[in-house]
Each structure stands twice: as structure tokens, then as C-alpha cells.
Structure 1
Amino acid sequence: MTSVRIMRTRDWAHPVPPARREVLTATPELPDDSKPPVLFVPGFGHGAWAYAEHWLEHAAGRGFAAHAVSPRGHGNSEPAPKAELRAYAHDVVQVAAGLPRQAVLVGHGAGALVVAHALARYPARAGVLAAPVFGGWATLGLALRHNLFGTLPAAFGGKLRLARRQLFSRALPEPAAREYLRRIGHASPRAQWELLRSRPPEEPVGAPPVLVVGTPDDRVVPRSALDKVARRYGGAPLLFPGMGHDLMLDARWPEPLDAILDWLEKGEH
């Protein structure tokens, strides 16, 4: 039996302050009530814009009401230079709870860890963890190997600067890669430090099905970390070789999204 925490003393004593949140939405031309709404959550430094590029409209085209939230301090949401991971998870839960029906939560990168924490507080229809960054020394070691000078400052409270080869495959045209890199911001130093500490998320409320997707060629998430996260949720990762970490922006972006939507349809979540 899965145990669920009813009282979180810290949340009661130090509640997360309110913040203005950006939410972008794409709705299908013909609404289908058999398909749950999908809420996309970006990784650190990204915003809802990363899903608005391709995934929102594509999901809507397949009959899913698609939403993307920028947690505080990201995208066009309210700045939050001292935000913690629980504040990001709070933003996700608040937006999900405001949707008209029980939603599927989809998180990418460190946003997958945010979704994992949100799943412990919101009874989601299902969860999807895309290229999940759950922290730990293996992830830090890989990041240092591929981007030493961009990663090292984050370990000491500075800004994490991601490199093109970490995020995208060579198939993505260079002008598009440069534009995406220009738009990437930063999470709060506190949230970055919490990610390195890698506190395991609590068990999901209601034991929803959880799918893990990623790429064996990820230069941010080691393959061993993908396997570990997938095992935690009772499965194996669905892999897309040849893609970069930013699955929703890379050249073959339709493949992982269609696989996610297929999984939702076939599982009748």
C-alpha cells in the first residue's frame, strides 16, 4: 500500500507565496471529452514557449486540450530569484487544479522532477517524465564532462549555462538552435542546489500510471539515470535514439510527443 502524507508541517508553517503564472493553451477544434487535458511543465530555464513551438498545437490537433505553464521565475511568469522546488511544484498543482478535468502532467528535464513532486500533491490522470533530470552525481558528472564552464558555476550558486550540444542533435538547423539558446533563462540558485541534492520525491497520489521517455544520446541525463527513474515507477524508458535532451524542440520533435499521446489513448487514462 502506498502511503500519502496528509500534513506537511513546512507547508503549513511557511506557505508558498502567490505568484503570477504564465499559461499558454491550445484547444482542439472538436473537443473530445474522452481525452484528458495535458499540462506541460518545462525544465529549468525554459518556459511555456518551449512547448508552444510545436507540442501544444500538435497535441490539440490530436484532440487533447493542451496547456503549458511557466513556473515562477520562468518564461513570462513573475520573477522569483529565491524560489524553491516546492514553489515550482506548487505552481503546477495550482494550474492543474484549475483545469476543468483531471489532467495528465508532463514534465521535461528538471521539470520532470517538479512534476514528480506535484504528483505527490495532485491526483493526476497520468504522469509523463521526459528526459527527467532528478539530480545526483551521475547527472552532474555528465554535465561537467560536456559543459565544464557552463555547469561548474551552478554547483556554487551561479547560473547554469547549457550548451548547444547538450540540448540538440546536429539535425536541428543552427539558426533554430541559436534562437532557442537565446531564449533559455535560469532557475533560482536555491532550486539548482536542491536539484544537486536530489531529494527523492514522495509517492504519487492515487498511483497513476507514469511513463518515462528519453534518448540514449542525451548529454544531460545518463542512460543509467533514465533506467533508474523508470524503475522507480515500475517500467522501462521509451527511447528515441539520435535526439538531443530538448525533445520538444529538436528536429524530430513529433516522435516522442506522438508516442506519449499514443500511450495516453491506448491506456485510456
Structure 2
Amino acid sequence: MTARDRVRIMRIRDWARPVPPARREVLHATPETDEGKPPVLFVPGFGHGAWAFAEHWLEHAAARGFAAYAVSLRGHGGSAAAPKATLRAYAHDVVQVAAGLPRQAVLVGHGAGALVVTRALARYPARAAVLLAPVLGDLGTVVTALRRNPVGTLPALVGGRLRLTRRQLFSRELPEPVARAYQARLGRAAARAQWQVLAHRAPEPPVGDPPVLVVGSPDDRVVPARALDRAAARYGHAPLLFPGMGHDLMLDARWREPIDAILDWLDKGASF
């Protein structure tokens, strides 16, 4: 880490106006033997909690030798309520959990959680990062959501709850009862944080310049394919795509495919 990186991690505002503490839910799964692989911290998107990764991906990652953790951002899942939370507070949650892990971690953010991860990367020297079906404040994503789900999207633009449909979240391969059960578990993000997704400034460069992989589906009805292309282009590569899947890749019927591809990428980049 360079001296400039150290300066960027420590900021006067962080000391003068610290983020209020909050109880955070962290779920985890650990491998039977320590293979020296970096821990992976999963960050759910708005409305989702750590449970979304605990359903399949945590145990699957552990079975492949990665200690896997998932944090519920404040106000989500089993974490403390936080109706006035901001993107800064969410990023603080991620940095605090990552800093407490036994090794330098890989950060994996889903949906708006990917935006939170990009902000956390400016504070935490991650080993690598994965932006999964990322919602990065792209205007095209907002227009797509309004066109495909106006009833569920419009309230979020005026401080209400964002409600995503079954077709936006999952493919038709996922059995209807399972999809309904997942939808019933969705909560909501703080109104201010939702606004900040639309009005946020471009994130600062990551500390230490870690490799960043963008993963998604060309059939995602929340994040359009061109938004995935733009997100990946920021990091100098093309997105890794899984046709036929919905926005919630970690819960969809073919959930094994993207997590195995992510873990393969990490295994190949053992020298990150």
C-alpha cells in the first residue's frame, strides 16, 4: 500500500463526523481445512439480508476452501434498524466487517450492494472485488426499472419502498413457491440511501488497485446488459455473463454457475 493510499483511507470527515455504531448481522461458513485462500465477504443489495447468500453460496464457497461471510447492512436482515442510513454508513459496515476478518478479504457486492462495495474499496485494501448484477446509479438502469415495473419503482423515487417483481428477480426455472418465499423475506433500504444511488458521485479509486470482476445476466430485468458492459469497462474488461438468469443470481435455479465461476477466477488469481 502506498503512502497516498494510506492518506485516502484516513479522512478528516471520518474523524469529525463518524458513522453511528450499529449492531451488524454476519453469517459465515468455514472450510474444514485452512488452505490459505482469502476470505470472501458477500454484501447483499437493498432489501436483501445476509440470508440471501447463506441460502446457497456460503456453504458452497466453504466447500471449495474459502471462508465465506455475509453481512446484513444496517436496517437489513438481522442487523439493527437504521431508517436514516446513508451509503456512507453502509460502506462503513462493510469496511468494519472486512477489517475484522483474519486475512485480507475479497468483497462481493450484489445489486446496490455492489455500489456500496465500490465505496468501501476506497477505504479498505481488498484482495479483489466482484460486482454482481451491479446497480451503480446508472440512469439506464433506472429507466429500465421504470419501464418494466413502474408500480414497484416509482414509490422508491419519492422515499417509499422499492418492490421488485418475481420476473425481475428470478428466472422462470425457479419454482413459484420458492420465488414467493424469497420475495416475502425482502425488506427495504433507508429512503436517503435510495436517493443517493440516483445522485451519488463517482466512487474514488480503489485502494491498492485490486482486480475487479463484473458478473451478471444479459436477461436481468433490473440491470440492462449495456449497464453491465459499462461497469466492466471501468475496470478494463468485459462482464462475465450467465444468460437465462434473473437479477438474484445467488438465489436463482442455476445458482451454482456464477459462484463457481467467481471462485474459479479467485483460484486462478491466487497471486492477487
Q: Would the TM-score normalized by the shorter structure come out above 0.5?
A: yes
Give, in angstroms, the shift of residue 13 of structure 1: 2.4
Query: Which of 223, 246, 249 does residue 247 from structure 1 map onto?
Result: 249
Counterpart contact for 1:135–1:198, Cα < 8 Å: yes
Residues in 1 aligned to 2:74 and 2:109: alpha-carbon distance in whole angstroms? 15
Letter in 2 for 1:13: A
Classify the secondary structure of the residue corresponding to 2:143: helix
Give, in angstroms, the shift of residue 11 of structure 1: 2.2
Query: Which of 11, 14, 17 does residue 14 from structure 1 map onto?
Result: 17
Give, in angstroms, the shift of residue 29 of structure 1: 1.1
Counterpart of 1:162 in structure 2 is 164
Counterpart of 1:123 in structure 2 is 125
Residues in 2 aligned to 1:7 and 1:30: alpha-carbon distance in whole angstroms? 35
Unaligned runs of 5+ in 1: none
C-alpha distance 136-3 of structure 1, shift in aligned 2 (>3 A): farther
Aligned residues: 268
Letter in 1 for 2:83: P
Classify the secondary structure of the residue corresponding to 2:144: helix
Residues in 2 aligned to 1:6 and 1:94: alpha-carbon distance in whole angstroms? 13
Counterpart of 2:263 in structure 1 is 261
Query: Which of 55, 73, 76 does residue 75 from structure 2 map onto?
Result: 73
Give, in angstroms, the shift of residue 76 of structure 1: 0.2
Counterpart contact for 2:49–2:72, Cα < 8 Å: yes
Residues in 2 aligned to 1:256 and 1:16: alpha-carbon distance in whole angstroms? 34
Counterpart of 1:189 in structure 2 is 191
Query: Which of 220, 223, 248 does residue 221 from structure 1 map onto?
Result: 223
Counterpart contact for 1:154–1:192, Cα < 8 Å: yes
Residues 230-269 of structure 1: per-residue CA shift (max 9 Å, x gap): 1111111000000000000000000000000000001113
| 1:135-150 map, 5 Å | 135-150=137-152
Stretches (4+) displaced over 4 A: 1-4
Mean Cα displacement is larger for which, 198-207 or 182-191? Answer: 198-207
C-alpha distance 65-141 of structure 1, shift in aligned 2 (>3 A): same
Unaligned runs of 5+ in 2: none
Residues in 2 aligned to 1:30 and 1:7: alpha-carbon distance in whole angstroms? 35
Counterpart contact for 1:107–1:128, Cα < 8 Å: yes
Q: CA RMSD in A?
A: 1.4
Residues in 2 aligned to 1:138 and 1:247: alpha-carbon distance in whole angstroms? 20
Residues in 1 aligned to 2:121 and 2:133: alpha-carbon distance in whole angstroms? 17
